[in-house]
Amino acid sequence: MKRVSMLAVGVAICTLFAVNASAEANLALRGIGLKAGFVNPENLSTTIGFGLVADLGTLHPQVELESYAGYWQQTEGDFGADFGVKDFAFGSKAKYMFETNNPAVQPFAGAGLGFHILNAHVDLQQVIPGASASETDFKLGFDLGGGLRYDNGGQFALLGEAWYTAVSDFSQFNVMVGAVYMFGR
């Protein structure tokens, strides 16, 4: 009986907070954009990464929601053997937008979750003819980072951001710049 009453109290509290949060939320596709930059994967050399970003509106006046997709690949070779990794990621991030004296310049910090489709391959055909292997894994990653958005009310908002993504075997740090086309302006 005690567990049931505690569960009922918990559901009631969550419902009250949800009603308050939904009154402040403004979720809608506000813009879509591209970004590019440098990715430094764990145990590999730095490479170029590309991404898509969708601005999904606000959960709270200072908390914005973003959806993303990204891709990078890196291949390294030595003594006739090539080893490479490809990462296709997609997920969502929540960003806390800090208030500044200039509303066009918005620094932010955020966190998110993403799914990573990692493909690792090794090619030894120059050493041993026909010797190659490939493996694809689906992994969950945790994003933590921040950056700066410049939005002066025009059609495009500019982004500069840095994120650390914790993924087992291939954690990565990336620095990206990009532009988001804002709808309805």
Within 13 Å, how many C-alpha atoms sit on residue 28's CB side? 6
- Mean pLDDT, rounded, of the chain: 86
Lowest mean pLDDT among 60-74, 116-130, 138-152, 167-181: 116-130
Domain ranges in the chain?
27-182
Q: Mean pLDDT, to the nearest integer, of 111-132?
A: 83
CATH number listed for the domain at residues 27-182: 2.40.160.20
User: What confidence category does residue 76 fall into, taking pLDDT thresholds of 50, 70 and 90?
Assistant: confident
Q: 0.75 exceeded by the pTM?
A: yes
Q: Which residues pair with 138 in a beta bridge?
A: 117
pLDDT in tens, 26-67: 899 999 999 999 999 998 899 999 999 999 999 999 999 999
User: What confidence category does residue 6 fall into, taking pLDDT thresholds of 50, 70 and 90?
Assistant: very low
